[in-house]
């Protein structure tokens, strides 16, 4: 059994470059959505919008309602970016207006987990075996 660590290592926020791959996938994402109001909510799990290596859905009642899970190419499936974004930010990333994101990174330099929120957990660093 695995459980969340009682004292997970602190994450460090630093600027991370938006890769051409992420930019292209953000474009694909908003091309698939017929207006953001059509995007499925998180509690309708099966209905997330899928692009290869990226999925997205919406959460209710928050200033950054779009949740994106991104797996960079050439990495294992544990290496996830979890992004909470506002709709215009996704468009700006896709159009190349945003070229850098300030993301929380694990203190372990080997870990590729990235997130926009400090309390999103990394399955590799923030969980342990019982």
* Residues near Zn ion, by CB under 5 A: 106, 111, 113, 122, 124-125
Residue 52: CB minimum distance to Zn ion, A: 23
Q: DSSP letter at 47? A: G
Identity of the residue, 30 or 81, whose beta carbon is nearer to Zn ion in the bound complex = 81
C-beta of 123: minimal distance to Zn ion in Å? Answer: 8
By beta-carbon proximity to Zn ion, the closer residue of 66 and 125 is 125
CB of 5 or CB of 31, closer to Zn ion: 5
CB of 91 to Zn ion, least distance (A): 29
Q: Give CA separation, 73 vs 56, 76, 94, 117, in Å.
A: 17, 8, 17, 22
Min dist. Cβ of residue 78 to Zn ion (A): 8
Q: What does the H/E/C string look like for 64-91?
A: CCEEEEECCCCCCCCCCEEEEECHHHHH
Task: Say if CB 103 and CB 115 are below 8 A apart.
Answer: yes
Give the β-pairing of 127-129 and 100-105: unpaired
Whichever of 32 and 75 has its CB closer to Zn ion, that residue is: 75
Q: Which helix (H) or strand (E) holds 55?
A: strand 54-58
């Amino acid at each position: 059994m695995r459980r969340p660590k009682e004292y997970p290592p602190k994450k460090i926020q630093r600027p991370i470059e938006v890769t051409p791959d992420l930019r292209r996938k953000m474009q694909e994402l908003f091309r698939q959505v017929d207006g953001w109001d059509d995007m499925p909510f998180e509690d309708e799990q099966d209905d997330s919008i899928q692009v290869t290596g990226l999925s997205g859905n919406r959460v209710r009642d928050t200033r950054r309602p779009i949740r994106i899970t991104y797996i960079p190419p050439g990495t294992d499936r544990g290496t996830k970016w979890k992004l909470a974004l506002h709709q215009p930010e996704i468009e700006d990333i896709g159009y190349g207006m945003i070229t850098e994101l300030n993301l929380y990174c694990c203190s372990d330099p080997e870990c590729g987990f990235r997130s926009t929120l400090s309390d999103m957990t990394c399955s590799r660093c923030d969980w342990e075996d019982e």
